[in-house]
Amino acid sequence: MARVLVMDDEEDLRRVLVRALEGAGHEAYEAGNGADGLHEIKTRAVDLVVTDVVMPEMDGLEFMRELGRLRPGMRVIAISGGGVWDKNSLLTVAGMLGAVKTLSKPFELDEFLKLVSEVLAAS
């Protein structure tokens, strides 16, 4: 069992991912943006972060920069649908900022859970 923080401004998707993680035996927390995610990181023990890249207030890339200072080596899976930007470019930048895996939206839940399992097993 791992403790996973899921960050996405799309509330419905965030809740689906949290429920899927809990169904797979993990403890899951949620945040709607990077600022709330940083608060969670500062107050909870977290093993893995799943973050959307494009979010209001503080996006996933800004979050990852701050996370690198607060918790170097924290495992991150970056997800993105791109919005007005090219999602592949955003995910490439996320990888450069330390995301160990990336996933393009839309994706299937089994694909997401498999990726989470791979990242956790590699630690």
**pLDDT, tens digit, for every residue of 91-120?**
888 888 889 999 988 999 999 999 999 999
User: What integer is the mean pLDDT of 57-76?
Assistant: 94
Residue 121: burial class (beta carbons within 10 Å; 0-12, 13-18, 19+)? exposed
In this model, does residue 18 exceed pLDDT 80? yes
Is residue 103 within 8 A of residue 79, CB to CB? The reply is yes
In tens, the pLDDT along 31-46 reads 999 999 999 999 999 9
pTM of the model: 0.93
Give me the residue label for tokens 């943006």.
Answer: 33
Q: Which residues contact 68 (CB under 8 A, 6 or more apart)?
A: 74, 97, 98
The pLDDT of residue 85 is: 63
Is residue 33 within 8 A of residue 55, CB to CB? The reply is yes
Six-digit token string for 48: 């893995």
Domain annotation for the chain: domains and CATH numbers: 3-121 (3.40.50.2300)
